[in-house]
Amino acid sequence: MARNTVSRSLHDVGLAAWFGGTLANAVALNAAAAEAGSDARTGAVANAGWDRWTPVNAAAIAAHLVGSVGQLRGNRGRVAQQEGVAGMSALKTVLTAAALGVTAYSRVLGQKVSQGGATPSKRGTKPSKRARADIAAAQSQLDALQWVVPALTGALVAVSSYAGEQQRPSEVARGIAQKS
């Protein structure tokens, strides 16, 4: 088996940043924004934080996708020949597509909130009663979605760990024997 250090690093570091950044922002940024001193400042702080995270998140996602393609190419023989690898790869693809979709939709909602300016908020994703209805609706959706991206990317971390276990020589030999 050839080494795929660069693609594995891109895959893993990109996924780690995507997972960790969105989880940290959901846990810390949105809650900390509530300490800005006023409902109007809360919205401004949350918007600034998420707007700063967006280009880093985009780079992390791009790195993960490039690494994923590299991993798939590097392991295409195992995908075809080893029992269970194709199914794991399909699961990773489905989880990645779901995480990308939720991330993209969350960004659309986030842009709507950010373009609304210093929208009065109780915390980053909790609108105050003074928030415009369309912005409040976007914030309410973001309140739920902020946990979906870390859940999906966390699941990707777990499946990636399983994929690493499938590369043990004993697993490869057993999987190839079972597929034959």
Per-residue pLDDT for the chain (180 aa), expressed as one digit of tens each? 568 899 999 999 999 999 999 999 999 988 888 888 887 788 788 888 888 999 999 999 999 999 999 999 998 988 898 888 899 999 999 999 999 999 999 999 989 988 877 777 777 787 778 878 888 899 899 989 999 999 999 999 999 998 888 877 777 777 788 877
User: What is the CA 167 to chain-centroid distance, rounded?
Assistant: 24
* Maximum alpha-carbon separation in the chain: 66
- Report how far apart, in Å, the C-alpha atoms of 18 and of each of 48, 79, 154 are: 18, 25, 9
DSSP-derived letter for residue 80 is H
Nearest alpha-carbon partner for 59 in 106, 21, 111? 21
Dihedral of alpha carbons 60, 45, 115, 135, sign: positive
* 135 vs 143: CA distance, rounded Å: 12
Which DSSP helix (H) or strand (E) runs through 87? helix 85-115
Q: What are residue 126's DSSP bridge partners?
A: 123
* 24 vs 57: CA distance, rounded Å: 12
